[in-house]
Amino acid sequence: MADKRQVKRSIRQLQRVKTWQLVVLLLICGFVAATFLRLNNVGMVDRRDAVLAADKDGNLTAIQTRLYDLQRYVSTHMNADMGTIYLENQYKRDSERIMAQAGSDDNPNGNIYKKAQDNCAPKFASYSTAYLQCTVTYLAQFAPADDPASKVALPKSDLYRHSFASPLWTPDFAGWSVLACVVIVFMIVARLAGLGVLRLMLKMRHRG
């Protein structure tokens, strides 16, 4: 008899907090979590755009600073996956510098860099990797055969690609709000399961 009263008391305690109240609380926490997750992503996009803007301006110090800022932000904020960014403008500048040095006026064939530009520019509608390769191929024709180091070699494009990983969970506003949602979901499941078990126990005792 005492066990039966204890079961009924446990049921009443669980029923003090209604399931619909927990669901409403979950919806509120879900909205807050979604807002903070969105803000994390917006912060990443702003910093990624700053890197690309610095790449366009050509300031090496600014590029490194913006890259460090982006890396630090992505590594400390969830939902901040950035994909891969390519410093295309810096790659072009470094490639042009290498080709200009290879085709300087000191070359016995004259300014072959200008000749390469004149030869390749009409073949391509815009500045591209294909245009660079055409220029390199043209310059390589004038490299001394006994000096392999003088052959033109463009920088590796992979060195200009950057990708930083965002953690699955971080202890920021977004992380704590997501954790709160998980806790509330667990409470709802535990409450429903607990009520189900207690009612089943009470029914079994009635039969007994």
- Please tell me whether the overall predicted TM-score, pTM, comes out greater than 0.75 for this model: no
Q: Which of the residue ranges 50-54, 147-151, 197-201 has the most confident prediction, judged by mean pLDDT? A: 50-54
Return the structure tokens found at 65: 């600073």
The tens digit of pLDDT for each residue in 168-195 reads 999 999 999 999 999 999 888 887 887 6
Transcribe 153-190 into DSSP letters. Answer: -PPPGGGGEE--PPPS--SSHHHHHHHHHHHHHHHHHH
The tens digit of pLDDT for each residue in 33-78 reads 999 999 999 999 999 999 999 999 989 999 999 999 999 999 999 9
| Residue 88 one-letter amino acid | E
| Least confident span in 115-119, 145-149, 161-165 | 145-149
Any idea what DSSP says for residue 151?
A: S
3-state secondary structure of 71: helix
Q: Largest alpha-carbon pair distance within the chain? A: 109
- Residue-level length of the chain: 208
